[in-house]
Structure 1
């Protein structure tokens, strides 16, 4: 039996490589002649640069940036000098994992640190800048990035506003400051598979801000702020990008990159799979299963994350999908109707979340073994 394995990480418990190794060990205990092909993938979120480094010969550029709350940290991006291309992972400077749970507050966080990285790539000669979105702690509409590259956001008195979520409602005018960075001739790309609009019930605040520390009142205010930012932009520049699928990604960073830097939106999983050369593999080799998975399969999984991209790839080659997860939080029928043959849920319902996360590798190996043993 031949397996093509394209998993996401199980956040907080397993990297995608560890998912692959545990799955493989479980299968080999039952099927000694099984063969495996692993693809390191990312939908543009955490792990984006790791995936890029597997398929591109890039230099790792370390630098000091600001974290989502404005504290100095060490971060990095990838630079391909030959093609003058830079790769930035938003989560490296603006990510939720950089904050303690008690520090998470979508009203106070900013993407400014990621903007510092973008500015550095431009100074080093980059002409194509790929920004992997995902895992952000922010809901600032991308104005942090824009501010780092020289845009200013002014209130009704003409005073510059700090580029954080709670100030979005105060923006009345957008200008370029004295340190505006010239971006003519530079192409920007967002790498992401989220399709949400900027604001509204399916927008950045209502769908994602709660996990970034926002309560119901804050979510409503953040949504109003994103709407205001869009209205000010339309009034000054005449274009409305708020409904573009993906503009709500990473707390509206998709919108900011589109509006201020004319970024093209690219599918994260499609982008990585093309770099990996997996279509050439599928054109020349046969597989019995494509295996994917993540820590929790829920409604967000079906809104354009890595698993959905893998499902679409599998459907195009008529290969059944086997998904693995810590917890399945949607009806199985929603997955099977989209081409998933089965789901292996590894969490022990009689144990705590902490136990399941700490023992995820062993649980996955055991459940996979039991699953394939039952098929014999």
Structure 2
């Protein structure tokens, strides 16, 4: 039997490669002659960087950066195995988890640190970028990120504005004459699973601002400032980003990257599937089965998670697919419609979440073994 093992991480417990090896061990315990291919997967959210590094035998590099409040820090990003692609998670430098509750303030936070990581990768002669926008603490419309790359945002006196969302309202002119020359050949893909536009009651500030510390009053200030900024972009670039689907991601960072970096916005799982060349693999290899998984499988999993993407591809190529989860609950009918054959929980008895997470690798291996013992008996 030839099996593609393509799980996501089990969040807070095991990364995707560890999960895949546990699945592989369970299979080989039953049939040492089975051929297994390991492909760590991700959906564009937390963990995407390390999963894609592992999937391509790439490397993780450390670079100088700043946190959302401009404080010096070291941060990490990934470089693919062929050395051509940088995988950057905005949350590693501009993320909400880097601040405590008292520090959350979208008037002050900036994406400058993420721009520093892009700059570091450009200086390593990398030209292709995958940017994952989840988990931001910012609402600066990506201006900080662009400032780190040499874009200048000038006030009425011709002076550079300071870092932070509160200064977006002061922008009068945008000057790109000092942008890094390396940017000319760079191309950007953004993992963006939200559909919110840049401005308005369904936009970046109103929907995501409160969770980043914005009061009702601050939300209005930020939305008005970003609308004014978008108007200036339209005047100078003849491009309207106000209502572009997904432009509101990461406090408007997606919109600015689209406008200034010609970035391509994609659903996270679709971006990952393209990057790891899954379609080509499924065309060339005669897999008998796919096994995937992630920490929790429920009714929401069908909405763009790794299991959903893998089920759709399995269905497209006529391959049975089994999914393992730390828990399996709720109505999975949509996953079955997408192609899922069956889903199994890895827990084998009464246990709390902490116990399951601490023993996830062992539990994954044991459940995979039991599944394949059943498969082997049926195929006798």
TM-score when normalising by structure 1: 0.77
Q: How does 1:350-361 map to 2 (within 5 A)?
A: 351-361=351-361
Q: Which residue of 2 aligns with 1:186?
A: 185
Q: Which residue of 1 aligns with 2:323?
A: 323
Q: Please, which runs of 5 or more residues in structure 2 have no aligned partner?
A: none
Computing the radius of gyration from Cα coordinates, the structure with the larger value is: 2
Q: Which residue of 2 aligns with 1:263?
A: 263
Q: Which residue of 2 aligns with 1:63?
A: 63
Tell me the CA shift for residue 353 of structure 1.
3.4
Change (3 A) 1:150 1:185: closer
Tell me the CA shift for residue 261 of structure 1.
1.6
Q: How does 1:1-376 map to 2 (within 5 A)?
A: 1-29=1-29, 34-53=34-53, 62-77=62-77, 86-96=86-96, 98-99=98-99, 108-126=108-126, 128-140=127-139, 141-153=141-153, 161-165=161-165, 170=169, 173-176=172-175, 180-182=179-181, 185-192=184-191, 194-199=193-198, 204=204, 213-214=212-213, 217=216, 221=220, 229-265=229-265, 268-274=268-274, 276-297=276-297, 301-328=301-328, 331-346=331-346, 351-371=351-371
Per-residue Cα deviation, 1:206-231 (whole angstroms, up to 9, x for no partner): 76667x65588599556666555444
Contact 1:133/1:192 (<8 A) preserved: yes
**Whole-angstrom distance in 1 between the partners of 2:176 and 2:364:** 53
Choose 176-185 or 291-300, whichever is displaced more: 176-185
Please give the secondary structure, in 2, of the residue aligned with 1:185: helix
Task: Give the count of matched residue pairs.
Answer: 373
Choose 280-289 or 14-23, whichever is displaced more: 280-289
Tell me the CA shift for residue 116 of structure 1.
1.3
Tell me the CA shift for residue 277 of structure 1.
4.8
Tell me the CA shift for residue 5 of structure 1.
1.5
Please give the secondary structure, in 2, of the residue aligned with 1:42: coil
Change (3 A) 1:266 1:282: same
**Whole-angstrom distance in 1 between the partners of 2:70 and 2:100:** 14
Change (3 A) 1:228 1:196: farther
Q: Please, which runs of 5 or more residues in structure 1 have no aligned partner?
A: none
Per-residue Cα deviation, 1:164-189 (whole angstroms, up to 9, x for no partner): 45665x35535238855456623321
What's the Cα RMSD here?
4.2
